[in-house]
Amino acid sequence: MSPTCLFTRRHALALLAGVAAASPAQAAALRVATVDWAVLETLLALGVTPVAATELLQFREVAVEPEVPAGVADLGLRGTVNFEMLRLARPDLIFSSSFYVSSEPRMRRIAPLESFSIYARGVQPFAASETMTRAIGERLGVSEAAERYLAETHAEFATLRAKLGRLDGRPVIPINLGDARHFRVFGADSMFGEALARLGIANAWTEATSYSAMAPVGLEALARVPEAWIVLIPPVPPDAMRILAGSVFWNALPNVRQGRLLTLGSINPYGALPAARRFARLLTEALGHAGASGRG
């Protein structure tokens, strides 16, 4: 395929997108469904209530915010989307993500489908989420809300960054305990990693991770980041903290000895901007409470 040919095709696509965006009045009434959680939280954040979404029981527990209105139909597990339920919800448009590539032909039978890929090799999830928010805004005729939300996001990050600037400036290692001996770490290519960068905080985990998180890492790896704040993302296994409290190794870690251990509220690790904001807000609050300025 020649470069010219590629160019014209892109041109045509852009033109089509322009046409689609040009009819907001019609788009505003669209019934949308989503099988992806990152899209779900973005929709809710833009004030759009989808007609159906996946695994709402777990979403309310893990992602917590934004709140899901009662009328949204549950499509079952993210791994096994209930297509019948999706069909019966009669959406005009379905949002999907790269996790569902193999199911796309079937979903296209129900309604036109738009897919985003935020968590994929070589993709920066924060920038991808911004692009996605804008794209959803344009597609649904709520561009204003999308731009407002993006501006709010930037403003919130700026405010939080200023607050954090007054604190101790130590790096942070965001982890999720698997049991009392292993953790999953979120690296530079994760949403948490990107949020840290935008807050002006260094991520203490500098090794490569793939698809945003690396698991499992033996707990002894924490000895390599003695300066960092250890930030635990729930769920924390029920017996882990009890076992760790009695562990010589754990208690010898400078971070733990000097109180640099925080547990945040539950956050969706594969979320979009709302999850990034929730992480940034909870982290700033927790660091502030822990009196990060007092030590150093």
Partner 1 sequence: MASVVPTPRIAAIWFLPVLAIALLFAAVIATRPPLAGDPAVTLVLERILLWHSLVPRFVTALLCGAALGLSGALLQRVLRNPIADPSTLGIASGAQLALTIATAYAPALIAFSREGVAFGGGIAAVTIVLALSWRRGLDPVTVVLSGMVLSLVAAALSATVILAKGEYVLSLFIWGAGSLNQQSWDAAIALGPRLILGCIAAALLLRPLALLGLDDSGARSLGLALHSARFLVLAIAVWLAATVTAEVGVIGFVGLAAPALARFAGARRMRDVLIASPFIGAILLSLTDSAVQLLGSGTADLAPTGAATALLGGPILLWMLRRVPLTIPPQANLPHGPLRRIARPWLAAAGLALVAALLAILALVAGRGPDGWNLATGSLFLDLLPFRAPRIVAAGTAGAMLGAAGTLMQRLTANPLAGPEVLGVSAGGGVGLAVMLMLTPGMEPLHLLLGAVAGSLAVILAMLLLASRPGFGPTRLLLAGVAMGALCMAIVSTVLAQGDMRSYALLLWMSGSTNRVGDFEAWTGVVACLALISPLFLFSRWLDILPLGEGMSGSIGLSRRASRLTLATFAAVLTGLASLLIGPLSLIGLIAPHLARLAGFAHGRHQLAAAVLIGCATMVLADWLSRVVAFPYQVPVGLFAALIGGPYLIWLLSRAGPHHG
Contacts within 8 Å (CB) and 24+ apart, 68-77: 68/40, 68/44, 75/33, 75/35
* Per-residue contact string for residues 13-52; x = within reach of partner 1 by CB under 8 A: ----------------------------------------
List the structure tokens of 238: 């029920």
Binding piece for partner 1, criterion CB under 8 A, among 27-35, 191-199, 252-260, 279-287: 252-260
For residue 81, state whether it binds partner 1 (rule: CB under 8 A): yes
Among 156, 182, 198, 263, binds partner 1 (CB under 8 A): 182
For residue 70, state whether it binds partner 1 (rule: CB under 8 A): no
For residue 238, state whether it binds partner 1 (rule: CB under 8 A): yes
| ∠ Cα 240 242 245 (to 5°) | 105
Nearer to partner 1, 83 or 285 (CB): 83
Binding piece for partner 1, criterion CB under 8 A, among 16-24, 162-170, 186-194, 208-216: 208-216
Nearer to partner 1, 19 or 248 (CB): 248
Provide, rounded to whole angstroms, the least separation between the CB of residue 170 and partner 1: 13
Among 118, 146, 199, 214, binds partner 1 (CB under 8 A): 214
The closest alpha carbon to 250, from 232, 269, 264, belongs to: 232
Site for partner 1 in 215-234 (CB under 8 A): 215-221, 223-224, 226-227
Nearer to partner 1, 97 or 133 (CB): 97
The residues binding partner 1 (CB under 8 A) are 55, 58, 62, 73-85, 87-89, 99, 101-103, 105-106, 109, 176, 178-179, 181-182, 184, 207, 210-211, 213-221, 223-224, 226-227, 235, 237-239, 242-243, 246-250, 252-254
